Amino acid sequence: MPVYADTHAHGNSWRPLCFYPENVNHIVNFASEQLEKKIPYDDVVEMLKEKGVNEKLADEVVHTMINNENSEKSGSGFSALIWFLVFIGGIAYTIYSYESAQAGGTYVIAWGAILFGFINMLKAL
């Protein structure tokens, strides 16, 4: 589907085609495909401009997509670190509890922290 910056009649109002939802989805999908192919930022902006998207909108779309990609990557690492700390904390508390127990006494196995910390840490990687 071509995307043009020309105006299009919609009822009684005129507005650029890039403001219709189906065209916005097309712009975002196209930019996403190009970025996944590791095409440089400026080249993707130029490709969008060639499809009729104005420069400001093309630049904003590509910039936002790159920022979202970077924040997802950094958020994933941070989440993995938090779950790793939960996992290690569960092990540490279990060892402390075991060492503190009197002979024949009871101690706590922090299985929830150990299990869910480990599973979620792997998911976040």
88-122 in b/e burial notation, b at 16+ Cβ within 10 A? eebbebbeeeeeeeeeeeeeeebeebbeebbebbe
Task: Tell me what the pLDDT averaged over the chain comes to.
Answer: 75
Instruction: Kindly report the pTM of this predicted structure.
Output: 0.44
Which carries the bigger pLDDT value, residue 20 or residue 37? 37
Please give the average per-residue pLDDT across 17-44, as a whole number.
Answer: 71
> Where are the strands (E) in 22-115, listed by range?
none
Supply the pLDDT for residue 76. Answer: 67
Tens digit of each residue's pLDDT (9 = 90 or more) over 49-79:
887 777 777 777 777 777 766 555 555 677 8
Looking at residue 125, its pLDDT comes to 77
Distance CA 109, CA 98 (A): 8
For position 44, what pLDDT does the model report? 82
* pLDDT at 63 (0 to 100): 78
Segments making up each domain of the chain, as ranges: 7-124
Among 32, 38, 34, 40, which Cα is nearest to 68's? 32
d(Cα 121, Cα 113) in Å, to the nearest integer?
Answer: 11
Is the pLDDT at 95 greater than 80? The verdict is yes
User: Which pLDDT belongs to residue 88?
Assistant: 93
Instruction: Compute the average pLDDT of residues 99-125.
Output: 87
Q: Pick the residue with more confidence: 58 or 43?
A: 43
